[in-house]
Structure 1
Amino acid sequence: MQAKEIKNQLRLLIEEASVIDPGLAKRLEDINRWVKDVKPGSLTAKKFVLFFLQQIIKDSLIWLDIQALESEEEQEQYYARMTPTEYYWYRYLFPKWLNQPDPKFSIWKQKLMAGEFHQADINILRAIATDIAHREGTFWHCYIADFSMATDIIVSNRENQPLCIQITSLSDEFSQEKSDNWENTLQRWGINRGLFLSYNPHITDFVTQVVNISLYNSDHLKTGIYLRFSL
């Protein structure tokens, strides 16, 4: 989807959402104000901004499809076709984001537009996600969960219990403040368990170890526990 098409799509979604879901309309209006004065050529050059816009358009289309269904039973049938991690996002976290204040949203939008996010760990996240899929688990990654909810990836294993995970290469001596902020953020969004996983990129096959720990804790980590684990 090109920059001009994205802008047009945003305007159309705002019109539709204003009738169906005011919370979504408000978020989309905020996003539209953020990008409306950016010329299409400049917007195209900001690839991470484009990635986010594509994600929010996809989320909005799915959410409006769900809200347009006439009965709760029809909505649940729609949700039943999703993977466990998709279900967790669209059934719980995305509507929370639409209806609750997000103190980080204006900050990371500004940084995203300024090109201050480079996602140096994206290749590692892709490798982790690929391994999870090979093991028949499911995963979800999006900018809202990442930047607003301190969640790099949502993982679900055999028991279909999605787990929000923050993955960092910080050593223990530097990760305490980050992990404290992580736990506070998860609690703020009503995420009732989580894994903060520090890894050493110099360890052989650390991706496999990260996936092992993530899938195991998806099945076994108890509600109310915010686990810090260091490889």
Structure 2
Amino acid sequence: MFAAAALFVFMCLTATSHADHHHHPCHTPNMTGLMSVTSLKGELKAVGAFTYDSMGRKLRFRSNESHPVNTSVGLDLLMFFDEGIFYEIDSKNQSCEKKKLHCSLHPLDIPDDAKFHSTVHSGSPSIEGEGLTLNIWTGDFTDSKGHYIMSVTMGCLPISAHYFSETTPFLISNMEVEMEIKDPDLLLVPSFCQGLPLEETPEGTVNSFLHEFM
């Protein structure tokens, strides 16, 4: 796993296509699919289902629920990026924690300030159905203590994202993506979570989708 991830990063950084300054980040459509999070040391951190509302900028991610595997992180997150809040949900115990969202960076959309790096071809572009053309985008974390490399299809479907931080670099991959919200109720605050006060954030803590895996 580590060797494959390292090879992909090398491909991204050494692609022959040069950056086109006329490229601007595209915005992803509504999506339902599966997401896996793996550290570049080979540890599978989480696998789960996601639902993403691109217009409303809402994300639900549930790991180890419908797809139980031996991972180190079990999460049920409902994130409202425009409102700057998110919920950690425990459906089994009918409980929630409502928290402030400090960073809106996540693997299902390309940030507006991302820089186009190159276009790469995975597989064979000369054989129909045997290749995939990807655009590579790069950027820095808001606090400049890390950077990312994102790969998306020409139709703006995110395939994978590498995040390099001071703690644990990791790879997020998306699979079985469908361009629709199959269950809109997943993006609603559960009844047992409504009316909760916003919890105080401990000093030095940064809340974001990515920091759940760091």
Q: TM-score, normalising length from structure 1?
A: 0.23
Greater relative contact order: 1 or 2 (C-alpha under 8 angstroms, separation 6 or more)?
2
Q: Which has the higher strand share?
A: 2
Q: TM-score, normalising length from structure 2?
A: 0.24
Q: Which has the higher helix share?
A: 1
